[in-house]
Structure 1
């Protein structure tokens, strides 16, 4: 009887392990399909126009004399010491 119980336990644990492997494989397949489907959707998405957008040239790198703090350091108009 002891042997029969051990065999039943081994069979049950093998069945649980088998189902866990099947479930894991299904999860991996679903994730791969989701990435593939998302990639297809991203490739189909309309790309933004290549011509310059409105206001694209309205910004430039500030010069050292254009900022409030650097104007004080270099003796600008708002220097309280002059």
Structure 2
């Protein structure tokens, strides 16, 4: 895991690496799910796991989908 259209499509299109609009660092799955300051409050409200390993457990699938839909990124993955 760690590759998706949103974070790696630039390679196929020959474009620049996408940056987070708030943090101005390279956009990555980890950044979106765990690190971006823009979503700190929401991660706390949803009790989002603190590691990718925890996040990608089968029992967390609904939480992962809800989180991505709430931040309007589900359709971009």
TM-score (normalizing by structure 1): 0.17
Mark the structure with the bigger radius of gyration. Answer: 1
Of structures 1 and 2, the one with the larger relative CO (CA 8 A, separation 6+) is 2
TM-score (normalizing by structure 2): 0.19
